[in-house]
Structure 1
Amino acid sequence: MIRRSSFFLFFFFCFAAENSSSSIPVNVGVILDFDEVGRMWLSCISMSLLDFYAAHGDYKTRLVLHTRDSKDDVVSAAVAAVDLISNVKAEAIIGPTTSKQANFVIELGEKAQVPIISFTASVPSLASIKRPYFFRSRDSDKTQLKAIAAIVKNFGWREVVPIYVDDLYGVGILPYLFDALQAVGASVPYQSAISPWASDVDILKELYKLKTMQTRVFIVHMLPSLGARLFTKAKEAGMMSTGYVWIMTDGVTNLLSLLNDSTIDSMQGVLGVRPCVRKTKELKNFRLRWKRKLHREQPDLVDAELDIYGWLAYDATMALAMAIEEVAGNSTNLVMKEANVSSNLLLETIGVSKNGKKLSEALSSISFKGLTGDFHFVNQQLQSSAIQIVNINGVEPKGIGFWTSERGLFKRWKLNSTTNVYSTSQSKLATIIWPGEPTSNPKGWDIATSGKRLRIGVPVKDGFTEFVKVTRNVKTNITDVTGYCVDVFDAVMDQLPYDVAYDYFPFANSEGESAGTYNDLIHQVYLGEFDVVVGDVTILAKRSIYVDFAMPYTEASISMVVPIKDTKNDNALIFLKPFKLDLWVTTFCSFVAVAFVIWVLEHRINKSFRGPPSQQAGTSLWFAFSTMVFSPQEKVLNNLARIVVIIWSVVVLIITQSYTASLSSLLTVQQLQPSVTDVTELIRNREFVGYHKDSFVKEILIGLGFQDSQLLNYTSIEECQELLSKGSENGGIAAAFEQFPLVKLILARNCSNYASVEARTFMSKFPNQKKIANNIQQFKTRGFGFAFPLGSPLVPDVSRAILKVTESDVMGRIEDKWLSTKSICAATLGRVKDL
């Protein structure tokens, strides 16, 4: 069939030369794999020349094609390139097929200054350095990788595993894929490289390895021959079921027509990206003509479907014909060399084309309307206007949306759209049929193999069971887990955009008692025994080495609970307490000042204010003071003095009323104050203090300077209250140090006898603040939090769900249910002072 096609081309150009004796034949090489696809592409190249010269019969140049079979081999492609450049004296080369073949052919083209035009090689690294003689009549893989990253961001997937062919084509995209995913906040926990020569057993082994991992989003980048086997084995391994996400690059998407029905059936639910080519009348007409041509020349391919690469080959050939004609201009501008019949394949014999530079410049300026749209090289490669996203659903891929760098993801293509906003709303894509046909979008991860439920570890507690309470029914052997922390976790799970199945498991020994400390419980997550820990577990820096915490769902503070002392005053000088010293002095000075003013205004005209100096002073002061309790006997005759008396009477009324109210409060209201407000006082007096058993607070107290012998632990609220009631002198404690949620519980039970003193900064009253600060730094708390394995994809979603719960009335109802405080406690809880 190839010989028939070559003969047809030869006959066509001989006929053209006979009818145009002035035509200049220009040798052009074509390097393709002469398989089914390569033969279809070659037919498109020949049709491009037929159409071009039929429309431009007056052009002086005629391209003469010299085809070579690269046989899907890098060496064969390189040998073909050397032959075309050295012996055929080709002015340009179209091809080769793959990126790994193109890598060496491009170098030969640069050496000989012969333009290499590829319509299939997509690896970005081929154009990573300046290569003036390499042209790519398609966009690089960078664009489609950005579209895939937009899909990943759209559905909130945070981890992606690339599955790629282990050659230049596959490996070449990895740096650009990592950059695109990093830009949308996604990471790559694992890379799966599959050899081009891998057996079905090798593929299945790698898939089973991927199945044991938690990531369920896979990006497939390989050619159809290997991709078909991969998807077939993925279905066999049970990885085309609910929860899995498969996204394939255009390496497979562009050539779906080559796959058989059984392979397509195994790919149901897969997403794919490919360059968007609008269906035009010209394209439809070309496909009909191409079908007729194929039926005449290659009847064995009559059932074949043309793909985008055939259209790109058509446009690339036409662009080359235009460029060569432009360089020809005048007949003297194009210097042609005759072919060398000696078939020398030595690299040393490769010369430098005299027309290469002009031809390269001409190609860079070519612009026309091709089958695939506007054809114009930008930085020596074609720019894709948009990426189409398809979903394998049935026998044909269904378009579900598009992506452009300007608009992001969108569902329908509108020519008059001027939207310039980057969209990542899921509503911007049409309905997607995922693998397994689930009703909801896949979350992109799983704990392990499909169907596993989360194992939630909870502490077993003797006291403070309001947070976590484990009840075991001996008859039914069913364990019931309830409490504040459990209800919060259940509410958070309900807020997740996907369903998570889980079961609670007490951290207990065979006798039903606690199997260890909170640190031991946290370590079980690190060891893989539990998937999550739920309970009154405090977020600490040293614990975060082994687990990842979601954001806290309680207030983060440590307070000191101390007994309340009654400071009711029985002092004889209690009458002086309502006013401070400065107010007493001000009031007394005011009396003297008023007395002086009245004397100045009255003593000349009023006999009552005359007499010896002592009598005048006494009368004036008596007049000023007596206004507080009764009307003075001395009459005021001066009008200005009367105004002063009126103003002074109002002031005296205010003073007496304020004094009376304050004194009444002091005499009638019981004065409740914390018995201790200073930690240094406890340390200095070697008082006993308490902490919750197994709590990290013990380490904080030792860091503050308490001796281990001063520390007593308790397991319940009742035991804490008993120790506080005894006092430090009677074998009890002077204060209990606890986190705020536990403090609320203690005060809720008996707030009339205890008060809390919050410790915002422990070092503020210590003489050696720097040393204390260093001891305290490692024990900072951030409140209660749920513990997950390191790197768990659940953590970000759970943190967002916690925000939703804490900002709604759900959290209030949970607190009222488990941590409710009596109304009489409101005043006590409000008395918070810094240590």
Structure 2
Amino acid sequence: MERASPITFFLLLIIHFGVAQNATTSGADEFPVGVILDLESLGGKMSRTSILMALEDFYAVHRNYSPKLVLHIRDSKSNNVQAASAALDLLENYSVQVIIGPQTSSQAAFVSDLGNKSQVPVISFTATSPSLYSGSLPYFVRATLSDSAQVNSIASLIKAYGWRQVVPIYEETDYGRGVIPYLIDALQEIDVRVPYRSVIPLSATTKQITKELYKLMTMQTRVFLVHMSPDLASILFTKAKEVGMMKKGFVWIMTDGLTNVIDSTNPSVMEAMNGVLGVKFYTPKSAELDNFTINWNRRLQIDNPNDPPLKLSIFELWGYDTIWAVAQAVENLGIKNKTSFQKPAVARNMTSLGTSVYGPALLKTILQYKFRGLSGHFDLSGRQLQASTFQIINVVGKGWKQIGFWTAENGISRRLYHGESVTHHSGLASDLNPVIWPGKSTEIPRGWEAPADGKKLRVGVHVSVYPQFMTSWKDPITGATKASGLSIDVFEEAVKRLPYALPYEYVAFGTTNDTSSGGYDDFIYQVYLKKYDVAIGDITISHNRTSYVDFTLPYTESGVAMVVPAKSSRTNNAWIFVEPLSRGLWLRSIGLLFYTWLVLWILELLENNANITGEVLKNIGIMTFFSLFGDNRVRHLLSRIVLIVWVFFFLVLSASYTANLATMLTIRQLNPTITDIHDLRRSGEYVGCTHGSYVQGLLEQLNFNRSKIKTYSTYDGFYSALSKGSKNGGIAAFIHEVPYIRLFLARNCKGYTMVPFYKAAGFGYAFPKGSPLVGDISKAILSVIGGDTINQIEKKWIGVGYENNCNNAGRAPDPDELTFGSFRGLFKLNVAITTSCFVVAVIIYLYPRNEQPGQNGEQAQGNGGEQAGGEQPGQNGEQAQGNGGEQAGGAMVQQSPMGIQEETGQQTSENARGGMVQLSLVRVKEVIGQKTSGRTRDGSTVADTGRRSLST
């Protein structure tokens, strides 16, 4: 090895002495600041340019500020130890009061420890790991966003599109691992599962990355969240496109660590990333930012002439604003003392660090200073940048487009609302702009697919007490498990309606004996243990089971009911004919009848109807039923109006009575012997249920004594017990779900009926928690039960028209008796009209009597003043002689002129004779109007004979 010459050694000694002298004898107008960057990386080069421009711009604006910052830039060479060594050198030899950087979180952890010991603030605008923010690092300040700040925006994005499972892909570094706990917590809050975590080392080769991607393809999940450095992410997306994972159906989401530098990504990598979503920090546009971008691009090209053109990212803006914040804090602090470090009295080790004189005050001043920089509002009051707005982008072509925003106040929205709170957002994908997904698809991916490794879905089946719902057996030739029943047909039909192929195979749940001993809860628990991918059959959806499995929508009707013996009630009631009307309606109807009769009787008395005399009730009854139809016993017009209204009321009431009585005789066929489950419990009767069913636990919750609950495993067992009855060693009622009871009553229509008493969710299929199949199968089930398919399946396994043939399958409620309220209007109408007619008749009767008291006693004035027309009834009432019937009226007509001649004895004047004739005609008309004329033997009426005699 060649030895160095004395001249070379002397020159190195002079240079070292000059550098050290410059570091220790800084002038009063200089404030040393250390900068640690990875100058070999593109990010380091971009940040260096941004920092230098920030220092120049600040003192170009504030020329009179003193002291001025002096930057001492060091290269960490992408090494944690080198970064710590550079920091130690800056502290010991240059007495820097602030260290800006380093770039990575792992390097920042080393440097921050030195900063704590020397009380020198360490400000990083690129270290985003959440683990750095802790009480153990009080002098570390993050001039960027923590990775944990973006997890809520990512969770909202996943929730908006309805994805239920996500696989994170992250690098095996402090940066990669730091955000995972926060991300998992945010996803759990929206009920999204993480079935697998893909961890890729920084040293991974392309072959290793390809192998991991193939492993991901064999899984069902198609939503991937990428959180890694840009260089490693470029390899990942390129290989993902090669293996076919950037086509339709896949979803890729980037964290802000990648999205913030998306503009600097290689075009070939951007092409492989087409369709990827990402969240990035939102930078408001401004004229200052546009001018700085132009100048920065020019300056970067000058500083790095051999590098390709790069685009400005948010990290460079944070670096720019950090220099402004430090420079302004130094000015605000007013530093005048040259002494910046206090050395310890005794050195404890080779690298004994002093403590900064200005460090604590400078840190406090930096945290208090807030301003609007190129990146937006710059606030480090919480020892890290405070921000709450993220931009959601979609990579399209060689660029990207904005599809929305996320804020802590408003969540996801299509546009940004400045300073206003919005409450009408649904948080769904409709609140975002359309997305071009991988494979240039515009259809929102489901987020999962059937596995591509040929693995079949393991479907657990068991033997049910009712083979019509579920039964299973082994094929003697192939040994494969076979199954049939209503539950199987619905499941297979639902799978056929899925928009993708879903291969599956049946796996039997033990033997018949195991089923009876294990029960349905054990069967479903196998899904939780991942022995089955799904459990199907007559499984009741209950609250306690949803704690460890997810259920599809029910495919049967819901509820729990009792099967009890029924008794007939059609002929046992001798007084059923009075039940159609309530007691109040009966009493009011009878009262209205008597009231109507009374008014009719009074009206006819006022009319001087001779038919009313005699037995009152007999005549009123005759008037009620016959006077309206041709008989003239009811003479008064008002009486007929009252009868018309009464008959109308009677017809309506009788028709309603007939209809209700017919309904009672038709529907009321069977009554249950027990109507209340609580009465059954209080009576101490024995009840039955199926072994292994959740109904047994339900009965215990209803305080049934366990000794009074009998379980059965076969249909014949509980049918025989129900036939015996509780007193003969059987049961008084059998408690079961409604679908089973429908099946039971289809076979036993006579003698039993159903009494519902408890609500339940029906039968469903059990899937593991968070399974993406739940939603698709549920939609397919709705399609099956919403058409005629379910009717055909029920007819196949339960019977054709069993509900129509079995009237007691669900006993209809007894019809209600008719009450007074239903006929209140008719009652009011009848009473009002009847009363009105009565009042009018009384007024008509009284008014003429008071005005014309001598209407029937008129006197005929003659020349001598004699009376005319004082004939007495019956005086001339002898029988008429001749051909016909003798009438008193005819005698009266004949008597009138004869009486006049006898009383005068002389020839009367012409006027007197005319007046008496007129009076006699009036009396004749009254008599004729009251009684019918009799026929004479030769066919002429007595009235005619009277008129002829009067003329004579």
User: TM > 0.5 between the two?
Assistant: yes
Match of 1:538 among 537, 540, 551: 540
5 Å-filtered alignment, 1:414-425, equals 422=425, 423-425=427-429
5 Å-filtered alignment, 1:344-743, equals 349-354=353-358, 357=361, 360-361=364-365, 364-365=368-369, 367-370=371-374, 372-373=375-376, 375=378, 377=380, 379-383=382-386, 386-390=389-393, 396=398, 398-405=400-407, 408-409=411-412, 422=425, 423-425=427-429, 428-434=432-438, 440-445=443-448, 450=453, 452-457=455-460, 465=468, 485=487, 489=491, 499=500, 501-503=502-504, 505=506, 519=520, 522=524, 525=527, 528=530, 530-540=532-542, 547-560=549-562, 567-569=569-571, 672-674=669-671, 676-677=673-674, 713-714=714-715, 739-743=737-741
Distance 1:650 1:421 in 2: 60
Decide whether the 8 Å contact of 1:483 with 1:818 is kept in 2.
Answer: no
Distance 1:627 1:608 in 2: 10
5 Å-filtered alignment, 1:302-313, equals 307-313=313-319
Aligned position for 2:5: none
Amino acid of the residue matched to residue 757 of structure 1? M
Q: CA deviation at 1:760?
A: 0.6
Deviations 1:113-156 (A, max 9, x none): 54432211223454455988654332232333233222211221
Residue 204 and residue 577 in structure 1: after superposition, are their counterparts in 2 closer, same or farther (change >3 A)?
Answer: closer
Distance 1:639 1:319 in 2: 110
Residue 674 and residue 397 in structure 1: after superposition, are their counterparts in 2 closer, same or farther (change >3 A)?
Answer: same
Match of 2:299 among 289, 296, 317: 289
Aligned position for 2:52: 46
Percent identity at matched positions?
37
Aligned position for 2:155: 149
Matched, 1:810 2:790: no
Distance 1:593 1:313 in 2: 104
Aligned position for 2:757: 760
Q: CA deviation at 1:164?
A: 4.2
Q: For 2:318, what is the secondary structure of its paired residue?
A: helix
Moved more, 523-532 or 192-201: 192-201
Q: For 1:443, what is the secondary structure of its paired residue?
A: coil
| Count of residue pairs the alignment pairs up | 771
Decide whether the 8 Å contact of 2:297 with 2:310 is kept in 1.
Answer: no
Distance 2:418 2:282 in 1: 14
Aligned position for 1:787: 766
Decide whether the 8 Å contact of 1:221 with 1:249 is kept in 2.
Answer: yes
Amino acid of the residue matched to residue 818 of structure 1? E
Q: CA deviation at 1:28?
A: 1.1
Q: CA deviation at 1:291?
A: 0.6
Matched, 1:30 2:35: yes
Deviations 1:209-244 (A, max 9, x none): 877765543433333465567668878998777655
Q: CA deviation at 1:66?
A: 1.9
Amino acid of the residue matched to residue 41 of structure 2? E
Aligned position for 1:831: 811
Q: CA deviation at 1:556?
A: 1.7
Deviations 1:53-78 (A, max 9, x none): 45555544432222334454555544
Distance 1:105 1:145 in 2: 27
Decide whether the 8 Å contact of 1:94 with 1:117 is kept in 2.
Answer: yes
Deviations 1:17-67 (A, max 9, x none): 9xxx99812211112334334344334323333444455555444322223
Decide whether the 8 Å contact of 1:690 with 1:711 is kept in 2.
Answer: yes
Q: For 1:404, what is the secondary structure of its paired residue?
A: strand
Amino acid of the residue matched to residue 371 of structure 2? S
Q: CA deviation at 1:785?
A: 0.9
Deviations 1:448-485 (A, max 9, x none): 665545344566789774x6799999999999988765
Distance 1:360 1:728 in 2: 84
Amino acid of the residue matched to residue 136 of structure 1? R
Q: CA deviation at 1:741?
A: 3.3
Match of 1:136 among 142, 146, 151: 142
Distance 2:596 2:369 in 1: 102
Distance 2:338 2:35 in 1: 18
Decide whether the 8 Å contact of 2:566 with 2:670 is kept in 1.
Answer: yes
Unaligned runs of 5+ in 2: 1-14, 815-952
Distance 1:701 1:419 in 2: 49
Decide whether the 8 Å contact of 1:221 with 1:248 is kept in 2.
Answer: yes
Amino acid of the residue matched to residue 754 of structure 2? V
Q: CA RMSD in A?
A: 6.2
Moved more, 52-61 or 147-156: 52-61
Decide whether the 8 Å contact of 2:84 with 2:110 is kept in 1.
Answer: yes
Residue 54 and residue 796 in structure 1: after superposition, are their counterparts in 2 closer, same or farther (change >3 A)?
Answer: same
Q: For 2:186, what is the secondary structure of its paired residue?
A: helix
Unaligned runs of 5+ in 1: 1-6, 611-615, 762-779
Bigger Rg, which one: 2
Q: CA deviation at 1:369?
A: 4.3
Deviations 1:359-388 (A, max 9, x none): 742674353543x45555554544557534
Distance 2:203 2:711 in 1: 72
Q: For 1:787, what is the secondary structure of its paired residue?
A: strand
Distance 1:60 1:153 in 2: 53
Decide whether the 8 Å contact of 2:125 with 2:318 is kept in 1.
Answer: yes
Amino acid of the residue matched to residue 760 of structure 1? F
Q: CA deviation at 1:79?
A: 4.8
5 Å-filtered alignment, 1:213-232, equals 215-224=221-230, 227=233
Matched, 1:249 2:255: yes
Distance 1:453 1:691 in 2: 36
Amino acid of the residue matched to residue 302 of structure 2? R
Residue 574 and residue 136 in structure 1: after superposition, are their counterparts in 2 closer, same or farther (change >3 A)?
Answer: closer
Amino acid of the residue matched to residue 715 of structure 2? Y
Distance 2:190 2:682 in 1: 56
Amino acid of the residue matched to residue 33 of structure 1? D
Deviations 1:326-347 (A, max 9, x none): 545xxxx533337999998877
Distance 1:546 1:70 in 2: 51
Distance 1:220 1:794 in 2: 24
Distance 2:417 2:709 in 1: 75
Residue 361 and residue 469 in structure 1: after superposition, are their counterparts in 2 closer, same or farther (change >3 A)?
Answer: same
Deviations 1:572-621 (A, max 9, x none): 877666667777677777788889999999999999999xxxxx9xx566
Decide whether the 8 Å contact of 1:137 with 1:316 is kept in 2.
Answer: yes
Q: For 1:786, what is the secondary structure of its paired residue?
A: strand
Q: For 1:313, what is the secondary structure of its paired residue?
A: helix
Distance 1:734 1:375 in 2: 78
> RCO greater where, 1 or 2, for CA within 8 Å and sep 6 or more?
1
Distance 2:593 2:133 in 1: 96
Moved more, 23-32 or 259-268: 259-268
